[in-house]
Amino acid sequence: QALRERGCRSEEQFQEVLREIEAEVQRRKQLIHQSGERRAIISKCYKPKHPEVYTLQDSFLAPEFLEIVRFCTSPGADLQGLLSYLESFSDKRIYRLPVFTEEFCQAFVEELENFEQSDMPKGRPNTMNNYGVLLNELGMDESLVTPLRERLRPVTALLYPELGGACLDSHKAFVVKYSLHEDLDLSSHYDNAEVTLNVSLGKEFTEGNLYFGDFNQEPSPVPKYIEVEHVGGRGLLHRGGQIHGALPIASGQRWNLIVWMRSSAIRNQLCPMCRRKPQLVEAEGFGDGFTEPLQQEEPQTVDVCAL
């Protein structure tokens, strides 16, 4: 029915669509193996410019970020108290907070540029972004991104309890680059994530605001979009299912760190992309967030996420 509504009429058209779908399925099955091969080559052959940025240190984090985390881990911390530290946007549960220092952002972008200019093999972030870096291939997942996600967990526990904010246990992390003659903007979409962190790293640029629409489970007949400016070193937290995109930049170059944070306790029950109960199979790495066997997860799910 869905294909008919999109113009498929003949048997030949249906078969062509099925061939395209099968080709895409096979391509995606190969992604994890190809990524592993690239990571092995990079680990062996690439010489970092700033090796210190590969391991998260408190000195990389804005003092205000550390204060927010201290509050969220203190006795009696609650949502209203947390909101006094954050900048909120409309009623869409989008929040801005300081994340990194200016010095770290500069060194981090220099490291990414050094990698981009190298002859190392490079995977691209996703099907919508053609320029950027997959941080797991660069060897930053375990030492940089995982500790950052764990630092954020007390914050997301208060902001997004119904999305597993207290039990975000995996992620996909990448950096995207926008510049003239490359990717200028990003069309409307929602993320394969329960909660997304989007941090503006620099460099100099004009325009290119983010815009946010409805939550994917709360559609309205006339979507209401809001625009949010990028602020260097600061991050936006939003629900992965929030429709959003990026307007075109007018000049310069912009780098953003994106972390799709996932909770297996939530998505093992309902896939956020197809909205169906998933059939879990073995996978390497984080397995798109379906990281624990379903039968072992069920007894703990409600209690852990309620906390």
Encode pLDDT of 223-244 as tens digits: 678 889 889 999 999 999 998 8
Is the confidence at residue 180, as pLDDT, over 70? no
Average pLDDT over residues 146-156: 97
The CA-based angle 94-197-215, given to 5 degrees, is: 45
Is the confidence at residue 297, as pLDDT, over 60? no
Confidence of residue 221 (pLDDT cuts 50, 70, 90): low
Domains in the chain, please, with CATH?
12-268 (2.60.120.620)
Confidence of residue 250 (pLDDT cuts 50, 70, 90): confident
pLDDT of 15 reads 84
8 Å CB contact between 50 and 133: no
pLDDT of 302 reads 43
Is the confidence at residue 218, as pLDDT, over 60? no
Higher pLDDT, 181 or 122: 122
Average pLDDT over residues 32-52: 92
Contacts of 78 by beta carbon, 8 Å cutoff, 6+ apart? 158
List beta partners, residue 235: 97, 199
Higher pLDDT, 131 or 99: 99
Average pLDDT over residues 140-165: 96
How many percent of the chain have pLDDT more than 70? 88
| Residues 4-32: tens digit of each pLDDT | 777 788 888 888 888 888 887 777 777 77
pLDDT of 205 reads 74
Using the CB atoms, write b or e for 139-155: b if 16+ within 10 Å: ebbeebbbebbebbbbb
Is the confidence at residue 299, as pLDDT, over 60? no
Collapsing DSSP states into helix, strand and coil, what is residue 14? helix
Confidence of residue 128 (pLDDT cuts 50, 70, 90): low
- Tell me the residue ranges of DSSP E strands in 80-169: 87-89, 94-98, 132-134
How many percent of the chain have pLDDT more than 90? 50
How far is the C-alpha of 130 from the C-alpha of 126, rounded, in Å?
7
8 Å CB contact between 205 and 170: no
**Which of 164-173, 223-232, 255-264 shows the lowest mean pLDDT across its residues?**
223-232
pLDDT of 150 reads 97
